[in-house]
Amino acid sequence: MQAKRLVIIGAGPGGNTCATVAASLGAEVTMVERDVIGGAAHLWDCIPSKTLIATGAELAELTRAPVMGLQAQGSLDIEALHRRVQDIKAHLHDQLCTQLTSQGVRLITGTARFKDAHTVVADTDAGLEELEADVVLISTGSRPRVPTFAPVDGERVLTTRDSYPPPEIPDHAIIIGSGVTGVEFTHMFASLGSRVTLLVSRQQVLPIKDAEVAAVLEEAFLERGVDLWKGARANAITRDGDTVRVGCEDGRLAEGSHAVLAVGSIPNTEGLGLEEAGVELDANGYVRVNHNCLSNVGHIYAAGDVSGKLPLSSVAAMQGRKIAEHFMGLHNRPHRHLDYDKAASAVFTEPEIADVGLAEAEAFACGFKIRVTKVPFSANAKALIKGDPRGFVKLISDPARGVVLGGSIVGRNAAELIGIVAVAVANGLRDADVIDALLVHPTLSESLADAAS
């Protein structure tokens, strides 16, 4: 029996995971990527940004050295930082290429488009190549959204992708957008020594997050000298030499050395020949998919940002796995579909923020009866030992059944700690299950058991 021929357009986390799982299940896999194996959003955005943030975190640790009984100083070596970012990206790229090729995945460098529903044409340096496919995965990702009022030049007016690493550390960065990317940039530049003005279009940073969590982050920003402009919706950007001015709808004018746009992304669906394949897009340009990530065309799937679901690498990777299992026949029996409401997410600021499942305000808005418990890290021995007792753990549970419905964590290592809550939420575990786990002492994770009590 001939192996199923899978063609993947785009080598981000969704495409890579799908390729490795499908190859392990016996599929013949060809992947076409125009930029970088690993995905532009992942290796050009996520990994560099977290590398820069990690450097900023180390500098922040030095400011707390006296609390630990130490006298320490540090300074930023921007050239060494640039090399570190490039080295990490290159290492991950090489590791992915080795893994894929070792599994028999064929990698093609070039652009791809549909000729028809079962034929993909790859445009490479060697010319055009037609690829016949039984199954196609679209995982082309997204790119930063640029408003019409923003004269992006890559020097002083930047998108997020221009800033990993930035051409120079700004004297005064104006961050436009207070979602996850905006607050991470605020933290990053403030940690690296920039003065930062954050334009918050609403009355709270991270508007879709728990208000108590957002309040802790806002307080931390203010303590670090960040200027928070609430209700400030940008509508104009001008550059005069080394000065950038950002105008707001209410008449306020922010002036700095650089402006950074963090106002969302748009899917990369142009030029793919989706009309020729009969693939439908929604009003925002995302591929319409069902619970199996399948488009309206019965053998064409979409994963990652282009699917219009949660724009997280972890979600894209899980989509890729589920897609491979589905078209290889493993899901012909009942199985657990992807539940995007139970996906854990994190914000890599100082302090870190992470959450999963149902939030308190969301639960009340839906009319649920819930139990809310909150434990501050100031009551945790490890937090005191580490000299950083900021933040808290908040758990949401069903008071009748004791089932954990969600949780939020703000504080040191929140992104790591949320994994325990995510496992509980995904598997319907009870508060008692968290309490009964014999967690190590002293650790920050003990606060999870305390919150479950």
Angle between helices 78-102 and 47-63 (to 10 degrees): 140
Task: Count Cβ atoms within 10 A of the Cβ of residue 177 and give its class: 0-12 exposed, 13-18 middle, 19 or more buried.
Answer: buried
pLDDT in tens, 331-368: 765 566 788 999 999 999 989 999 999 998 888 887 87
What domains appear along the chain, each with residue ranges and CATH number? Answer: 5-143+266-327 (3.50.50.60), 157-263 (3.50.50.60), 351-452 (3.30.390.30)
pLDDT of residue 1: 64
pLDDT of residue 297: 98
Average model confidence (pLDDT) across the chain? 92
Distance CA 308, CA 330 (A): 25
Sorted by sequence, the CB contacts under 8 Å of residue 67 that are 6+ apart come out as 387
Distance CA 358, CA 283 (A): 27
Tell the residue number behind the tokens 């495409």, with chain if given: 15
pLDDT in tens, 308-322: 999 999 999 999 999
SS3 179: coil
Q: DSSP string spanning 369-401?
A: --EEEEEEGGG-HHHHHTT----EEEEEE-TTT
Q: Which residue type occupies 152?
A: V
The dihedral region occupied by 314, where left means phi > 0, alpha psi between -120 and 50, and beta the remainder, is alpha
Sorted by sequence, the CB contacts under 8 Å of residue 37 that are 6+ apart come out as 11, 16, 93, 96, 97, 100, 107
Sorted by sequence, the CB contacts under 8 Å of residue 95 that are 6+ apart come out as none
pLDDT of residue 161: 85
pLDDT in tens, 227-262: 999 999 999 999 999 999 999 999 999 999 999 999
Torsion of CA 344, 347, 351, 355, to 10 degrees: -20
- pLDDT above 70: residue 453: yes
pLDDT of residue 333: 59
Distance CA 178, CA 264 (A): 10
Peptide bond into 351 cis (omega under 30): yes
β-sheet bridge partners, residue 113: 121
pTM (predicted TM-score): 0.92
- Number of residues that make up the chain: 453
Q: How do strand 142-144 and strand 265-267 relate by DSSP bridges?
A: antiparallel
Query: Are the C-beta atoms of residues 206 and 355 closer than 8 Å to each other?
Result: no
